[in-house]
Amino acid sequence: MTFRQARWEEPLLWEIRPPADGGVDPAQAPEVPPELRRRKALRLPELSELEVARHFTRLSQMNFGIETSFYPLGSCTMKYNPRVSEVLARRAGVADVHPYQPESSTQGLLAMLWEMEQALGKITGLPHTTLQVAAGAHGEYVALRMTAAYHRDRGDTKRTEVLLPDTAHGTNPASAAMAGFTTREIPSKNGCVDLRALEGALSENTAAFMLTNPNTAGLFEEQILEISDRVHSAGAILYYDGANLNAILGKTGPGKMGFDVAHLNLHKTFATPHGGGGPGDGALCVGERLKDYLPVPRIVKEGRKFHISYDFPRSIGKVKTAYGNVGLVLRAYVFLRAHGEEGLRRVSERAVLNSNYLGMRLGEHLPRPFKPLVKHEFVLSGAPLKARGVRTLDLAKRLLDEGVHAPTVYFPTLVEESLMIEPPETESKRDLDEFVAAFLRALNDTPERLHASPMNLAVGRVDEVRAARDLILSWRDMEKAAPGAGRSHATAASPPGVASAAPSDIPNPSVGAK
């Protein structure tokens, strides 16, 4: 496949035209006390609308998206984001509604939020839901705050440790530490939790065990009921990381598996767009043990009316402004209603089918460290490439040249040179077969070409070491590093550091930094 990404030498906004270097007109806002008045005007160029549109359109042409490229990133569930959701989320009936309006003026939105909470309760088997959380990691954090409150209310103050498998997403230990817990990793056996090791680690100090199922190796933790039993016998909370929910809709649910609490990533399973890294949208579903601790407000239905209630004395309070990412909940709601029971079941069936098919095809060429029956994703090891002096990273970069996004690489860490691949339900068999062909072209390419890739993108291999060493994090830094850049439109055509300039043209910014 011949693929070429646009290669604009697009200047920074500040290089398109230099910003005015003046002060703020004192006639503006005479109400501001003199000691607080801004002395120098905001340094941002005055651009025409076309200049703005062209700048960002060109930048967009130097980026992959779902509508341009297959994105087999493991644990990210990069599925098609329905356009109709984008249309509906822009309706004034949601976009122009303020969260502090009276509840009688927002009954339609409250009905939608309430219905979404009920539906997620049914999907997870954990009937009490908050939509206030912003993203997956935020949900983890909120759940752990609730867990702490639960143990504290029971006088169980020794529970200071959170256990998690060594395959856990990085957010799990980070959330636990931020919530004031210590963490301990439980080793895996054949890619799944080692039940013995878990039993050995559980104690009266265990606050919670965090697990995703299917796990990050794409494997279903078959001993989940035993795990649940052991965790509960030890008096701890069993936490479900819902990043991988796309594999099990209608087949099982966290509640059925014995979990006490689950966060969901609506930007994965429910197709709200990833936005280049966010906004995400989270939900937190809990069972009886934790329900009193959910954040306020909660939506309460009385007859046909919906109320915003703050009357939950054990609630941990607020975790975010207002009620959550409602504009995104609406998108997820569209996905839910369009698919319905039957469609959501098909979502998981097709995602798992795609994953097993692709796993089988690619497993003929690179080792699969675990059993072949997987759920929504699978892991390969790029270790054999090392004999040719090639690494998984090279393979990933070479795949970009084929116009497909690279898989998740070097995670999970327990597999050497790992690649984690997730082909969601919205990819066709033809897409998968084309990916196999692209993968094989990449795999069989020469080491020289693999090392030199990508060659077809806006830039070649990016020097990340230099980025971390010589910090240039804003236009201010860049100005200091390369004085004169952006001073006139003429220089913007080839400012230092752009085009064919040598690396040495960008001096160490720390010289000029404060």
Partner 1 sequence: MVRWIPGNGEEEKALLDALGLSSVEELFRDIPPSARMKRMGLGAPLEERQVVEHVDRLLEKNQTQGSLDSFLGCGLYDRYTPAVVDGILQRSEFYTSYTPYQPEASQGVLQTLFEFQSLWVELSDMDVANASLYDGATAMGEAMLMARRLAPGHRFLVPSTLFWERRSVLENYAPRKDMEFVEVPCDPRTGRLDLGFLEREAKHDCFGVLFEYPDTLGTLQVDLPKVKGAIKDVPLIVSADPLALTLLEPPGAWGADIVVGEGQGFGVPVSYGGPLLGLISTRKEHVRMLPGRIAGATVDHEGRRAFTLTLQAREQHIRRSRATSNICTNQTLVSLAFLAYACAVGPSGLTRLASRLSEEGHRLAKALKEVPGLRAPLVDAPFLWEFPVGVEGLSIPEFLDGMYDEGVLAGVPLQDPRPGAKGHPHPGFLTSAGERTDAKSVERYARAARKVLSAPKKEGSP
Contact positions with partner 1 (CB under 8 A) in 117-136:
119, 122-123, 125, 134-136
The angle formed by the CA atoms of residues 127, 132 and 135, to the nearest 5 degrees, is 100
Q: Select from 50-58, 203-211, 232-240, 384-392 the region that touches partner 1 (CB under 8 A).
A: 50-58
Q: Encoding tokens for residue 48? A: 């025409």
Residue 298 binds partner 1 (CB under 8 A): no
Supply the minimum distance, in Å, between the C-beta of residue 245 and partner 1.
Answer: 12
**Of the candidates 21, 67, 302, 364, which one interacts with partner 1 according to CB under 8 A?**
67
Q: Shortest distance, CB of residue 370 to partner 1, whole angstroms?
A: 12
Regarding 320 and contact with partner 1 (CB under 8 A), the answer is: yes
C-alpha distances (whole Å) from 373 to each of 297, 347, 357, 368, 513 are 43, 18, 10, 11, 54
| 364 contacts partner 1 (rule: CB under 8 A) | no
Give how many residues touch partner 1 by CB under 8 A.
217
Chosen residue from 412, 425, 435, 492 binding partner 1 by CB under 8 A: 425
Q: Whose structure tokens read 């984008």?
A: 86
User: Is there a contact between 285 and 132 (Cβ–Cβ < 8 Å)?
Assistant: no
Q: Which of 74, 280, 369, 486 touches partner 1 by CB under 8 A? A: 280
Residues 176-215 that bind partner 1 (CB under 8 A): 176-180, 182-183
In sequence order, the 6+-apart residues with CB closer than 8 A to the CB of 505 are: 482, 496, 497
- Cβ nearer to partner 1, comparing 68 with 387: 68
**What residues contact 316, with CB distance under 8 A and at least 6 apart?**
142, 145, 146, 149, 293, 294, 295
Should residue 317 be labelled a site residue for partner 1 when binding is judged by CB under 8 A? yes
**Does residue 141 bind partner 1 (CB under 8 A)?**
yes
Element (H, E) at 164: strand 161-165
User: Please, which residue, 140 or 417, has the CB nearer to partner 1?
Assistant: 140
Tokens found for residue 198? 């878990």
Subset of 367-386 contacting partner 1 (CB under 8 A): 373, 375
Question: Which residue in 340, 389, 447, 484 binds partner 1 (CB under 8 A)?
Answer: 340
**Residue 437 found at the interface with partner 1 (CB under 8 A):** no
Three-state DSSP state, 93: helix
Select from 1, 59, 437, 493 the one that contacts partner 1 (CB under 8 A): 59
Write out the E strands in 194-286. 206-211, 237-242, 261-265, 282-286
Interface segment toward partner 1; rule CB under 8 A; list 194-202, 229-237, 349-357, 436-444: 349-357
Task: Mark residues 213-252: x for contact with partner 1 by CB under 8 A, - for none.
Answer: -------x-x-xx----------------------xxxxx
- Please tell me whether residue 256 binds partner 1 under the rule CB under 8 A: yes
Stretch that binds partner 1, among 55-63, 195-203, 230-238, 441-449 (CB under 8 A): 55-63
| DSSP element (H, E) containing 331 | helix 326-363
- What is the contact mask toward partner 1 in residues 70 to 109, using x (rule: CB under 8 A)? -x-x--x-x-xxx-x-xxxxxxxxxxxxxxxxx-xxxxxx
Q: Torsion angle, CA of 20/22/27/30, rounded to 10 degrees?
A: 110
Residues 470-509 that bind partner 1 (CB under 8 A): 470-478, 497-503, 505-506
C-alpha pair distances (Å), 71 with each of 369, 387, 459, 472 = 22, 28, 19, 29
**Largest Cα–Cα distance in the chain?**
74
- 162, 180 in Cβ contact below 8 A? no
By beta-carbon proximity to partner 1, the closer residue of 387 and 511 is: 511
